[in-house]
Amino acid sequence: MKRYKYNIINLDCANCARKIEDYLNNDSKLHNVIVNFNTSKIVFEAEEKIPINYINNLVQNIEEETFVVENIDDINIKKDYSITILISAILLAIIGFNFTNSISFYLIIISYILLLYKPFINACKYFIKNKGINENMLITISCIGAFIVNQKVEGIMVVILYTIGKILEEKAINTTRKSIHDLIDIKQDYANIKNNDKTEVVPTESLKINDVIIIKKGEKIPVDGIIIKGSTFIDTSMLTGESELVKVTKNDKVLSGSINIENIIEVKVTSIYKDSTVAKILELIEDATDKKAKTETSISKLSKVYTPTILILAILVAIILPIISSVSYSESIYRALTFLVISCPCAIAISVPLSYFCGIGTSSKQGILIKGSNYLDYLGNITKIVFDKTGTLTTGTFQVKDIKIFDHSYSKEEIIKILRCGESLSNHPIAKSIMKLSDEKVNSKLITNYKEIEGIGIEYDYDKKHIKVGTNKICKNCRMETRIHLNIDGVHIASIEIDDGIKNSAYDIISYFRRKHIKTYMFTGDKKEVALEIGKNLGIDEIKYQMLPTDKYKEYEKLTSKTDIVAFVGDGINDAPVLKRADIGISMGGIGSASAIDSSDIVLMTDDLTKLQKAIKISKYTNHIIKQNLIFALTVKFIILILSIFGFASMYLAVFADTGVTLLTILNTLRIIKKNK
């Protein structure tokens, strides 16, 4: 099964995108068709080669002006609305004069023909091909109906306002798309390739592995590579969301999307563009809104029944109102026509996917890659969260912070020597941190009667002395509550303070979840005493230790339920099975890590756990904007529908309920970007 991806041009309506997607999915040659309104992309799978003309024919059965292309740069997609706006302005001016009845009548007829011929032809073609009614048919019926019931000028005004509204609506959609594009504009379109002593500017896509490129001050690094000459500071904020500059020099790896801040460097290419970090990130963001959230799916279903329901109500209003009241048939038909103008669900259908797209784009700017609208939706509703320990909550390395000596007949150097002799026989991470205290070679032959005491420490004989190194249990009279103590011949000689490598951001994020009443768990393969100590220090609710990857998977299963959303945070390598199974799998430090991106639903591009808090904030605000848009759109439409039944709403208000409300919801959606800059 081969996967195809094309650009779809002139796609300005989310409801139309849904219709195209449904229509193409009914074609036996095409599988898993997704028409992404936000990115103007169409993706599908097919067992045989599908010519682009075949797809275009199918697409244009639904939307005649919409077409599919491979490369958007090869065409000019500018739309010229100046003629439409000029005609509208002239007609408005002419109708304002007091001509004779016959002249006015002919001018109105000309106006109807000029403004309605295109929607009328489009509506007829759609009806013939698909046996259905689209937005153009609704506006045509409404305007012709207004003419018939002697509301001729109002009919013209409606189509003029509708057309101008659609132009503004398209402009607003394109502005939103451009805002997101600017947020994620991390690609360098060109590269300075070095050929002998000359430099040539070439497209980024033409670079090959082992090419040597020159990165000047202020330029983005076009593809991943290794510095072979020079040193500089680079800005990785477009990848990680972190503003701190990174010093790089010869033999350091640099990732595409980073910006060279200081000096010219020469870089040897290690990956072609399609395999580079920047390409993977851009593809991930672009594809993210293909995975629809429950809200989007529900709205899509609502859109399918919304228009037919309003049409049925319009017919009932036209027929029944004169029977049950003193309203004439002419007036009831006029009121029914206002229903038709309101019946397009664009405001509902457009604002939801655009909101999720803004949320995903904004998150990427913060160094948080979210692989689907559904995961962005889930984030704000997490009820439980599970953390891996090593590499997630901790750095995975221990360090000796301090040695407190109580028997000063021993020097610090002697104590370090005694400790290192015994710990040289242990593989425990703490033992390794003690071994780093000196580079002096250890003679382990001096050690006798070495024994490890599980959960406590080690004991051995050295230089005719009996040594014990371990927890408080190693000596009855330990004077400090530190992790490690040195006991020689039954006397407490020294205490060693160990930095267990807990990340500062771990304290902050666990505290945040505690405030939000979200239950926290830690799953680790580490020993009981280490796991419990770290968990206690952080304030984690439940701790599971000495676990294999399969154990983590089974324990995670026990936490799940129909009412809970359970997230799992891991390093993206050892925790792949649970990351894939989780409601939300979140990988840490994913910069340049293919395994992290592949196995998880959300990737934090640095090891900063507080980015989770930012992601949840964006999720909640996105959902807040979606609710605002839906409540506003549905309320306005409902109120104007009721007013129109009782004769208090004209077609002008109906146009506002359609295009005006759509425009306002799109503009409101842009607040997601502004709020989280």
Helices and strands: H and E segment counts in the chain: 23, 26
Structure tokens at 216: 């000047």
Distance CA 570, CA 548 (A): 14
Give pairs for 515-521: CB < 8 Å, separation 24+: 518/382, 518/383, 518/384, 518/385, 519/383, 519/384, 519/385, 520/384, 520/385, 520/386, 520/387, 521/384, 521/385, 521/386, 521/387, 521/559
Q: Which residue has the tokens 């500059």?
A: 245
> Could you tell me if 349 and 13 are in contact, meaning their C-beta atoms sit under 8 angstroms apart?
yes
Q: Pseudo-torsion of CA 513, 515, 518, 523, nearest 10°?
A: 40
> Is 564 a known active-site residue?
no
- Can you read off the two tokens belonging to residue 283? 């593809």
448 Cβ partners below 8 Å, 6+ apart? 460, 461, 462
Point out the catalytic residue in the list 388, 526, 607, 658.
388
82-95 and 152-183 helices cross at what angle (nearest 10)?
150
HEC secondary structure over 140-194: HHHHHHHHHCCCHHHHHHHHHHHHHHHHHHHHHHHHHHHHHHHHCCCCCCEEEEE
* Helices within 480-610 (DSSP H only): 504-515, 528-538, 549-559, 576-581, 594-599
Cα–Cα distance, 292 to 514 (Å, whole number): 30
Beta bridge partners of 199: 194
**Residues tagged active-site:** 388
